[in-house]
Amino acid sequence: MKPKSKARAAARLAAVQALYQHEMENTPQAQLLDEFHRHRLGAEIDEDQYADAEVAFFDDVVKGVLARRDEIDALLTSKLAQGWSLARLDRTMLQILRAGTWELLARPDVPTGTAINEYLDVAHAFFETRETKFVNGVLDAVGKQVRQ
């Protein structure tokens, strides 16, 4: 993996973690970004070395998802099977779907397949195959709608 794509992958994973923290603790955006900049991105925590993340990309994803969350959630809701709601989804999975949807909506410079595959990699860090297939299906449906 090229250094830039590795840094982007690390930024995506960190963005999902930051969005999860925001969801669970309602951490204000400025505090959230500052905490990740100072303590998480490229840091060592409990002897785990965190990869150097592309900070500007991390900021873009977090700020973008928070700014457009209602729009993103409406789009995601439209892709869920009847009887399912975002409230039923695992909180981590929801952040993966939000970040992936934002990237498909707002970053035309990132190819559709790349965006989806990157968030599948993030999903693999947290979930088994069945859940990652779900993430793939939802993001694929979003991509088909927002990228004609």
Domains in the chain, start-ordered, CATH in brackets? 3-146 (1.10.940.10)
CA distance 27 to 109: 29
Helices (H) and strands (E) in the chain, counts: 7, 2
Q: What is the DSSP string of 46-99?
A: TTEEPPPP-HHHHHHHHHHHHHTHHHHHHHHHHHSPTT--GGGS-HHHHHHHHH
> pLDDT tens-digit profile of 29-88?
999 999 988 887 765 555 554 557 888 999 999 999 999 999 999 999 999 988 889 999
Please give the single-letter amino acid code of residue 142: V
Beta bridge partners of 44: 49
pLDDT at site 2: 65
